[in-house]
């Protein structure tokens, strides 16, 4: 399938033995991150890079054996607050590239990371915030 974006980076979700035998493709452009899934019916989810406020790298034993990893991206977006970029090659290099373009997008919109904090998203939680008081 032809990709019709000016992309900075692209990769496919890897399966067993780190092979790209999947119908999930990840695309990084200068301003957006896009996840394209499907074969007969193609769906795309995207978010603006300036809305990213956190990310996490997960390296399972199997992924490490084949040079792959998963990057979890947390976004200030009600539709897709968490995006998992599963089993990609060179995940640390991807995170470095992602950081670079997040900063460029924030500079363009004059936004700093602190501007994204405020209203909690569904996955935001802190230990002790959700305890029940039995006296109520």
What are the domain boundaries of the chain? 9-109
For residue 132, give every residue at least 6 positions away whose Cβ sits within 8 Å of its Cβ, in sequence order, or none. Answer: none
Question: Which tens digit of pLDDT belongs to each residue from 21-78?
Answer: 899 999 999 999 999 999 999 999 999 999 999 999 999 999 999 999 999 999 998 8
CATH of 9-109, one of 1.10.3720.10, 3.30.310.50, 2.30.29.30, 3.20.20.150: 2.30.29.30
For residue 55, give every residue at least 6 positions away whose Cβ sits within 8 Å of its Cβ, in sequence order, or none. Answer: 71, 72, 73, 74, 95, 98
Partnered with residue 11 across adjacent β-strands are 26
What whole-number distance in Å separates Cα of residue 112 and Cα of residue 90? 27
**Total count of residues recorded for the chain:** 136
């Amino acid at each position: 399938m032809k990709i019709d974006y000016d992309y900075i980076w692209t990769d496919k979700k890897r399966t067993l033995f780190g092979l790209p035998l999947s119908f999930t493709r990840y695309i990084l452009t200068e301003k957006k991150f896009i996840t394209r899934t499907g074969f007969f019916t193609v769906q795309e989810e995207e978010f603006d890079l300036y809305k990213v406020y956190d990310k996490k790298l997960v390296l399972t034993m199997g992924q490490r054996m084949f040079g792959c990893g998963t990057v979890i991206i947390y976004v200030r977006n009600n539709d897709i607050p968490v995006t998992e970029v599963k089993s990609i090659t060179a995940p640390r290099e991807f995170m470095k590239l992602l950081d670079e373009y997040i900063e460029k997008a924030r500079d363009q919109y004059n936004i700093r990371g602190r501007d994204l904090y405020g209203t909690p998203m569904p996955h935001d939680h802190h230990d002790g915030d959700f305890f029940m008081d039995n006296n109520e």
